[in-house]
Amino acid sequence: MTHHDHHTNDPLHDSDRFGKLESLSDWQLVNEEQDIRGYPVRSASGEDYGKIDDMLVDKEGEHVLAVRLTDGRMVAVENIDIAADHVVYRDTAGASPASYTKVHRRRT
């Protein structure tokens, strides 16, 4: 029996890397205006990858490390640029982490 990974050529498939992250619903962004849930994700050439369903938090570092698309694919925040009404996926990581990713635990 052979194993075939149909996501091998998918630039947005990185779910193994983000297995221990938590949903943003348990956290609050320091700057709520930078909540990108619902934003469409596109390539630099305009190819549509889907919409952002959730932002995933590293609970120890208290910042967003990735976003999850509505189809379940995950993308590291260093691979996205945020525009006014959409997100652009980049194949190469930026030089510095995005400042919008800082979060606080929600009070229950």
C-beta of residue 11 within 8 angstroms of C-beta of residue 89: yes
Q: Note whether 56 and 64 are within 8 A (CB).
A: yes
Handedness of CA 32, 21, 42, 100 (dihedral sign): positive
Residue 85 within any structural domain of the chain: yes
Residue range(s) defining the domain that contains residue 30: 15-105
In-domain check, residue 8: no
73 is a domain residue: yes
- Residues 74-79 have a mean pLDDT of 90
Distance separating alpha carbons of residues 29 and 64, to the nearest angstrom: 9
- Say if 49 falls within a structural domain: yes
What is the C-alpha separation between 29 and 42, in angstroms, rounded?
23
pTM: 0.70
Check pLDDT > 80 for residue 29: yes
Residue 60 in any domain: the answer is: yes
Lowest mean pLDDT of 3-7, 14-18, 20-24, 80-84, name the range.
3-7
Two structure tokens written together for 44:
């630099």
pLDDT at 101 over 80: no
Highest mean pLDDT range out of 11-15, 51-55, 80-84, 90-94? 51-55
Name the band, by pLDDT with cuts 50, 70 and 90, for residue 42: very high
User: Is residue 37 domain-resident?
Assistant: yes
Residue 32 lies in a domain: yes
Arithmetic mean of pLDDT, 34-50: 93
- In this structure, what CATH number is given to the domain that contains residue 91? 2.30.30.240
Closest CA to 57 of 12, 16, 13, 101: 101
- Count: domains in the chain: 1
